[in-house]
Structure 1
């Protein structure tokens, strides 16, 4: 007998016996009583066993209340009440398990995504083997429509890969040689040969499943409080029933109070919401570490964003060059030229800067060197000597001459400082990071480097405000003018610039001291101290990063900015469901107790209402499993010429190759 059949067996048998008892009761009342008693025994025996097991470990729970009430009803020969109470309790328990299984469906879907077999190349031939036996470094073949069995790096081939299971993204991603792929994703169109880099429990999918399992079992503070409350509440109900029974000498009233006072809906109100909320998040590529963090995320009112890589693309480019030897008007025009159309003076500035930066590890060295190569400038492999000045720039010796590239503080009292101050102000006002270039103590020019703002950055800030975030900050090590220019374009409320890692920590401490619940958004590695200090640390683009998945409070498997407000909105929805569930449970118990004491509510009616409240609480929580404000629907099609995927909102063409709902992609066979 499978689990589903066992779940419904007891209420089915008990219900059938009750029906027979009701029919026989009209013909042979004694036989009807025996069948009613049998129904109570069938449904009540498991309840009594659970109550006894709980008592042995000094736990007084719901099962004890129902067991005492049923035994008492049998003692006073009220077989109908005993059968009705135990049957309804068994039915409610079966429905509860079924609906709880539904809320955990996201985890079941994730587990089901793990392929059981893989095609590997061994001895020059393709062999199908169990996925867990694939060894790191082996070549794995994934054909069109197949599911990737391991984490790996593409060796050969090109394909569109559906990564919805990992990142929650609805559009397949083009993969080619050198690309990273994850276990559980689907090759929607193409053919790939991979080098396995992660197998079995070391895959990203396995880490996600493990994290979701832990998160769904982790308890929020509200849940912990409710469990402590129920430990006192249950004995309190027993004491109330005994007191009322002694005062009224009405045993049936006391037993009814025991049944009515069952805190079932109250106990389940919070965990069922947490399980559903975390499951919904997992489907969308949002990993929430546990109930406590989901609950805290619902209170976020300040979000701190790192500039580089979050608001901007993290790919700075050289966008302007100014030379001190040029008149101001001509220098301004030069600043708008592309590197491929440089004057001789600008070429000189770029050449000196690139030769110095060739020995620098600073991120801004990359766009300078790239622009020099684009302009056809030959750069020596390394300078004669290099001295890095942390926080300021680099000083190098090139062709026997000292070249300094960096900020205004690095220039000190070098010749041309007045011009440099003006150039720095102009470049910064334009949203560019200025790099001054000096040769042998004389400033010869300035470079303007800018990091392109992401297209969805402004939408992110607006969405965070709509999600209830009062203040969005940008924390950056760049200068204040650049930070202000970026903040103005994106709509950020407050830009804090020229910050070292310790300064970012100070800002977060300041906000927390003011009573704010702060979320810090970073990459999970570089911003680790700030992520750890913030009330909620959110790691972007965590797919394939074990550190981010394991350490972040919330790990977003994609770098799409919209996932940040999605996570906060879902947390707030979950918290609202938790509050409404608690209110429903308390109101139901309160009304039933009042009905028993003053309105004549019977034991069977009370149990029926009580079990109905449990189902209402569960159904309320299951609303979280639905996608609210989800991604655009429509269909994904393969162009027969380019063999690339595109989305269409609707079509009457029956030869659709790929379609999508909220879950993973599925192959649709045309007619």
Structure 2
């Protein structure tokens, strides 16, 4: 019976409203007191039934909820035969709840939209080479899929044949079509606007980028911030306190109606709903704009960040470096380059790719006994020779002697802003390569935006040489630059800043960044980075779009302000209402409930403004929310 009544709550709300209207018409139009009282009695019973059930369910778990206050107030009004007040209060309370749910559903529209655009089917290549439509859940890694114009890409994959333009707004927040051709990556949930492509499925189901976005946003919207947890604790004490206050008012005044009015006006509805709606709207805005905020707590911490640490390669730079300078020492260089290429082709590091691209066609050999030296490079055996590839520190560790010419070349390459890759064969330096990466377009403007948002310290930490790091820092106007840093060095430096009381965010994209991402107050991962970095982080910038970082910080600051505004509105309204009860003649139960429900809608609509937030000056076509 309880479930049935709660399911019919909205219908009962409208029936109660219609009965109230009939009652007023009978009273003021025809002066019929009998119909007036009858309709208001029925309206009161219909209205209080679902509220009383919710109150009973709350009391069973030892929670004195708002429904308890309203139920007691309505029963009291009914007993003193104030049917008009009891009917109007229950109708306003239920109608307010109905409007709350509708408006709250709009704040969750981002996750709803994501779920609706999830691909459901795919054209999968079968044994005879033809393509057959199958459920997307039946696609496995390695399958060949066909995507036609206007269709959704069903999985994360790599283009094998064909070309076209894809709208990646569901992943990056940008609706500008992106050109795709053989060898490029595509993402599930994006739309092929023109052309036809065949792709190889690399990630399927929940493992796709799109699947992870949905999962992360759902988890984030269900999480609670410190402010919400405080309000939960506050409500547990506040609601009984209102009951005690109402009892004290009755004890001294012997005025039942006044005590009941205090119960109604003391309901903390707007306070309870104000913070969650701000959080949900903020997270929804982020999801729409290529920023994943992993939980409400992230919003609170990120809004207070005053120091941001950056990895260099793949974060401040494009992550697609090329060999700019090189020097050879001794003989048999072609053979050495073959050894170098053989080792580097087993790595997916950007510097390794640059080396392979520069070497081009060569003779590859079998690589054995590979050993990765953290923060140094790699050592392996090729054709019986010990090959060491890495930085100067690795050469020292391998006891490789650097003659005057090599030291002069190293100094010159570093001065020119190169990352160094040295190759030694059997303890002798053979090849020195200087590799340069390009700074991300627009990153300087984005860093300036971070400063305007209140970030005091912008610091780059890199395993690269100090000369290269200094050049990047100077060009971008960073506060500090530190090179030759191992992962543990970055983590130690971060902890040192935290010990000084700074709120630190770390931005990175690689496995080696994971310790710092985990230790930072806010870990921010570039979306095209490693799975470990993304899982460890608190914020993900989809498609590695650095310009999303200022938007993310501005959004969290605005969301935090919005939360505070809602708390002030909610508390202020309750104080004004209670003061009006004691110090004015115009306040009554119905007016108080009307104002109370209106305050709930005010905080909801205030929170919903966050769905339209755009960082002022960062997107000239959009409005900012303050």
Instruction: Give the TM-score normalised by structure 2.
Output: 0.88
Identify which range, 300-309 or 31-40, moves more after superposition.
Answer: 31-40
Q: Is the 8 A contact 2:400 2:429 kept in 1?
A: no
2:354 is aligned to 367
Q: Summarize the Cα distance change of 1:140–1:6 in structure 2 as closer, same or farther, 3 Å threshold.
A: farther
CA contact (8 A) 1:140 1:194 kept: yes
Q: Is the 8 A contact 2:340 2:423 kept in 1?
A: no
Q: Is the 8 A contact 2:77 2:260 kept in 1?
A: yes
**Which residue among 581, 602, 611 is the counterpart of 1:625?**
611
Per-residue CA distance 1:271-306 (angstroms, 9 max, x = gap): 111111111111112222211122211111111110
Cα deviation digits, residues 258-278 of structure 1 (max 9, x gap): 000000000111111111111
The 2-side partners of 1:205 and 1:274 are apart by: 22
Check whether the contact 2:285–2:611 (CA below 8 A) recurs between aligned residues: yes
Determine if the alignment matches structure 1 residue 51 to structure 2 residue 37.
no
Structure 1 residue 320, shift from structure 2 partner: 2.4
Q: Secondary structure at the match of 1:195?
A: strand
Match of 2:120 among 116, 123, 129: 116
Could you list the per-position Cα deviations for residues 49-87 of structure 1 after superposition, in whole angstroms to 9, with x for gaps in the alignment? 111111122110000111111111111111111111111
Residues 390 and 53 from structure 1, CA distance in 2 versus in 1: closer, same or farther, beyond 3 angstroms?
closer
1:568 Cα offset (Å)? 1.5
Corresponding residue for residue 667 of structure 1: none
* 1:500 corresponds to 2:521: no
**Do the aligned residues in 2 keep the contact of 1:43 with 1:87 (CA within 8 Å)?**
yes
Deviates more, 1:604-613 or 1:25-34: 25-34
Unmatched 5+ residue regions in structure 2?
A: 1-6
**2:67 matched residue in structure 1:** 63
Q: Which residue among 244, 256, 260 is the counterpart of 1:255?
A: 260
Contact 1:155–1:193 (CA under 8 A) maintained in structure 2: yes
Q: Which digits, 9 at most, give the CA deviation of each residue in 1:368-394, with x for residues without a partner?
A: 453344xx8x66747999998775668
Aligned to 2:278: 273
Does residue 1:291 correspond to 2:311, yes or no?
A: no
Whole-angstrom CA distance in 2 between matches of 1:180 and 1:463: 30
Distance 1:68 1:402 in 2: 84
Q: Could you tell me which residue of structure 2 aligns to residue 357 of structure 1?
A: 340
**1:352–1:602 distance in 2 versus 1, CA, 3 Å:** same
Distance in 2 separating the partners of 1:443 and 1:201: 47
Question: Which residue of 2 is the match for residue 650 of structure 1?
Answer: none
For each residue in 1:137-185, what CA deviation from the matched residue of structure 2 results, as whole angstroms up to 9, or x when unmatched? 4433221111223333333221211111122223222222333322211
Contact 1:316 1:367 in 2 (8 A): yes
Task: Specify which of 564, 577, 580 is matched with residue 595 of structure 1.
Answer: 580
Conserved? CA contact 1:353–1:405, under 8 Å: no
Distance, in Å, in 1 between the alignment partners of 2:421 and 2:143 is 47
- Decide whether aligned partners of structure 1 residues 353 and 394 sit closer, same or farther in structure 2, where only a CA change above 3 A counts: farther
Gaps of 5+ in 1: 325-344, 635-660, 663-671
Q: Which residue pairs with 1:92 in the alignment?
A: 96
Q: Distance in 2 between the 1:60 and 1:171 partners? A: 52
Deviates more, 1:132-141 or 1:78-87: 132-141
Alpha carbons 2:160, 2:197 under 8 Å: kept: yes
> Does the alignment pair 1:300 with 2:305?
yes
Distance 1:136 1:64 in 2: 54
Give the CA RMSD over aligned residues.
3.3
Q: Any idea what SS the aligned residue of 2:544 has?
A: coil
Match of 2:475 among 489, 513, 516: 489
* Cα distance in 2, alignment partners of residues 20 and 401 from structure 1: 97
Q: Closer, same or farther in 2 for the Cα pair 1:39/1:350, shift >3 Å? A: farther
Aligned to 1:128: 133
> Cα–Cα, structure 1 residues 446 and 191, in superposed 2: closer, same or farther, change >3 Å?
closer
SS of corresponding position for 2:512: coil
1:73 aligns to what? 77
* Higher mean C-alpha displacement, 121-130 vs 23-32: 121-130
**Is 2:282 the counterpart of 1:282?**
no
Q: Contact 2:149/2:193 (CA < 8 Å) preserved in 1?
A: yes
Contact 2:341 2:359 in 1 (8 A): no
Answer whether contact 1:355 1:382 (CA < 8 A) is retained: no
Normalising by structure 1, report the TM-score.
0.82
Q: Which residue is equivalent to 1:458?
A: 444
Q: How many residues align?
A: 605
SS in 2 for 1:558: helix
Closer, same or farther: CA 413–108 of 1 in aligned 2, 3 Å: closer
Partner of 1:15: 17
Q: What secondary structure, in the 3-state scheme, does the structure 2 residue paired with 1:216 have?
A: helix
| Aligned partners of 2:336 and 2:430 also within 8 Å | no
2:459 maps to which of 467, 473, 476 = 473
